[in-house]
Structure 1
């Protein structure tokens, strides 16, 4: 770990002014940043501790919805009565991730901005375009069992590691940010990036911007939903494939549908054309199969991760079946329902 300057501002304007954008990193729970600094993957010359900022509340929004403060912990969010009652998909996704100790420290804003868990990204002795642009991608042609099968490029096949973000994508949340040029709102679908030719850019934050809150819309799909996480072991493991599904069913037909996937792309993966195939139809295997093919169209496997395509295909059908029946996957008994 290199030497760095440390600041702990008391207000949002002070935090924005405190750091030099190309030298600074913002510190909240630290569950990812500190690991990256210890491994010399992240080498900020300035660390701006934002834990004193007034971003620790969950508040009601006019017209419905909730605003989740960026410094509210994952545990506080998952166990909030309003989240559990109105957005159980989100609570379920959070409880599927990490461990209780990490959820107690990790923050909502930090969850959005965590970096990939690609082996090559973490190992500074291996090539990685995300960590060091121009080095190449060690995962392409290497050991790539956990890597992406959708939205990849010849520069990077890393995946986004978050469970929470998959549910937020399905809910069509919005991200509130503040920076040197003022405040703005980013649709969740536009927050994270695919790798393209700039795999080092995980998201669309501008230099010096801070996530201040996440806004949840009024519709939370509280009756017909699920979060299904498929992984190598039942706890404390990142998803090989995960699926968040929210359905609104009226008179036996799907009136609204949301499907998002994790573990398969550089960002939470959602395709509206796949969801539209469900609208107006009675839930069932034939309808689900059409949505699956639309959602996975263009998937390309590597030598050791091609299994994710078939795993995803079966997982989506299972998740849609759970959501349609109103029998969501339990995160206590993690055997697949």
Structure 2
């Protein structure tokens, strides 16, 4: 009788263990299902974590802190250099051109001290062993004043996770697709063009191809982002399409041709900083960019 009781107890324990395993597997599958549908786990940083993150990024109340985040290889470093009016090879520029260059957060002040903006190059999600939904908290993105979500080819779950968390923390976000000139050239080649800058025979045809490729790229990009946001049950949001090369020209007042959203993005970013600062009643940022009739002027 005693042996039978022991056997029953063993069976009961085994059954309970199996149920726990089933519940754990079900919980894991449910979490994965929610993640696929854009439902991110809610993880709120503690007060101590916020203080530590601010200390890590050297946060100052008299500065406006822009973070550029997203998947590795999107051109974050080059875009930051352009915003700061620097070529990639200039002294003080962010390192570019090497796969997985940014493995730790990098902080860059504006070369002109008159403008109290600080730019942060956030490690690309693809270079770190961090899940999409953990990326936001792991990088301490909740302490920044504004976040630029930059992507090159695909709008990913990492981008959705960043936007979702920014909405929770009421952090302004800007979706930006980089390397526009490169993508347009690729589309032109698919259309049969060898060189978009041909000045010889066929130059008119090249211009038509460029306009067609440009329009196709813009439409495809905006529709793709719209669809991805919709699939994640998020409201539609503008996507800014830019070329880092043209952005540098805009910042340097070169008035480059073929700009798409470079001027609007720069003005909107600086406008965000000015609005945020005005609300704090601690002063005002000087305007970096103004669009005048007849062209762009940079102070």
- With the shorter chain as reference, the TM-score category is under 0.3
Between structure 1 and structure 2, the one with the greater Rg is: 2
Q: Give the alignment's TM-score, normalised by structure 1.
A: 0.25
Whichever structure has more helix as a proportion of its residues is: 2
Q: Normalized per residue, which structure has more strand?
A: 1
